[in-house]
Amino acid sequence: MKIDLEFYKSLFSAFLESESAHITYKDLIESGVEVGIEDNLNEKFIFHMQLCIDNDLITNEKQECYNLESLGIGSNKSNRYIIDVSMRLSQKGHDFAATLNNKEVFDKLKSEFKDMPFKTIFDGGQKLLNHFLKKRMDVLLAE
């Protein structure tokens, strides 16, 4: 499965738009994230949550995140299920969300980085964001 930046943008928006420090799967579902239902979780959701874990983007309330179970996603022989735990974006998650929320950066990532590994997307996005912000800063300082 390929990384879907639109999916990440939707996922992170649920965290950013919340008035709470932590959100739950119920909050994700209510915000429109395609989580799936009961014992039939969306594979795209699982894939992107695993990448969040791999890259330290989301943690549980104890600031731990080492596998799906630490985020309340369990499995048995026939299906996966959710225990509604509290989660938060880590600082790295907030940095990635800021990258995706910048339209210029997001458009470049979607067009130029779409088949790249996550690290390249993350690092490239941060560099692009800094580049665009530097250009804006230069304009502000020239006034």
| Domain final position from 55, 70, 90 | 90
**How many degrees, rounded to 5, is the angle at CA 45 between CA 21 and CA 49?**
55
Mean pLDDT rounded to a whole number for the chain: 93
d(Cα 23, Cα 106) in Å, to the nearest integer? 24
DSSP character for 31? T
**How many degrees, rounded to 5, is the angle at CA 141 between CA 140 and CA 143?**
70
Does 140 score more than 80 pLDDT?
A: yes
Residue span of the structural domain in which 134 resides: 95-142
pLDDT tens-digit series, residues 70-110: 999 988 877 888 888 999 999 999 999 999 999 999 999 99
Same domain assignment for residues 34 and 103: no
Count of structural domains within the chain: 2
Same domain assignment for residues 45 and 85: yes
